[in-house]
Amino acid sequence: MRVLIFGATGMIGRGVLLECLRDSEVDLVVTLGRQPAGILDGKLREITHHNFNDYSAMEESLSGFDACFYCLGVSSVGMTETDYSRVTFTYTLAVAEPFSRLNPSARFIFISGVGTDSSEKGRVMWARVKGRTENALLGLALDAYMFRPGFIEPLDGIESRTPLYRKLYAVSRPLLPLLRRAFPNHVLTTRQIGRAMLQVARQGYSQHVLEPRDIRAAAGDPRHG
C-alpha cells in the first residue's frame, strides 16, 4: 500500500503516520506539508510544499497512491469564518479534486469532528464549515470517508500543536482512565484513529461518515459496542 498524508506534524496526522510506518503492508508513506515530520524511516518520503491552494506544478507527486489521509486542520478559536473556510474547505478541495482524478481507485479519508453540521445551516461556525467540506468531498468522484472523532488521547509522545488543547490534555490526563470507562465510544487514542484509518483505506466501511463508535469498530476494538 502507498499512502499520502497531509498534516503529519499535527496530532492525528502524526498518529496515522506512526501506524503506517509500523504496518508491514504499507510500502511507501509520503507526507506533504510546510514542515518535515522529523522522523527517519526507510519507507518515508517527505515533500515540502507551501501553497495549499495550488498543486498544478506537482501533479506527478500526487499520483500512484492507494489512499490519502487528510489530517490538515486548525482550531477555529479566534478565526473568522472566511479564514477558517480557507484552511478547512478551500485547502482540502484544492488537493482532493486532482487527487480523485489522478488516483481513481484510491480512498480519501478526511478528519472532521463530532458535531459537524451536514445541513451547513447551523449556528456553530466550525460545524457548518466542516459540514460543507464533507458534503463537497462526498460529491466528488472519490471513495471518500469522513472521520468524526471526539475527545482524543495522544499517545507515543504526541502533543497537540494548539496551546489551548495542550492545557486541556494536561488537566484531563489523570481523568482519562475514568473517562474511557464511562464513555468508551467518545474517547479515542491516536493509535486507534490511525489503525482505523488504515483499515478503512484497505477495505472501506459500511458508511462514509464515521462517528467515534464507528472509528473504534474500524480500529478492531472489541469494546466498540
pLDDT of residue 165: 63
- pTM for the whole structure: 0.91
What are the extents of the domains in the chain? 2-218
pLDDT of residue 224: 40
CA distance 145 to 147: 6
Phi/psi for 136 (5° steps) reads -65, -40
Chain segment 154-200, per-residue pLDDT in tens? 888 887 666 666 677 677 777 777 777 777 777 899 999 999 999 99
pLDDT of residue 153: 87
Chain segment 112-137, per-residue pLDDT in tens? 999 999 999 999 999 999 999 999 99
Q: How far from 136 is each of 5, 52, 94, 144, CA to CA, in Å?
A: 20, 17, 11, 10
| CATH number for the domain formed by residue range(s) 2-218 | 3.40.50.720
Chain segment 32-73, per-residue pLDDT in tens? 999 998 899 999 999 999 999 999 999 999 999 999 999 999
What is the mean pLDDT of the segment spanning 203-219?
Answer: 96
pLDDT of 204 above 50: yes
C-alpha cell at 138: 462526498
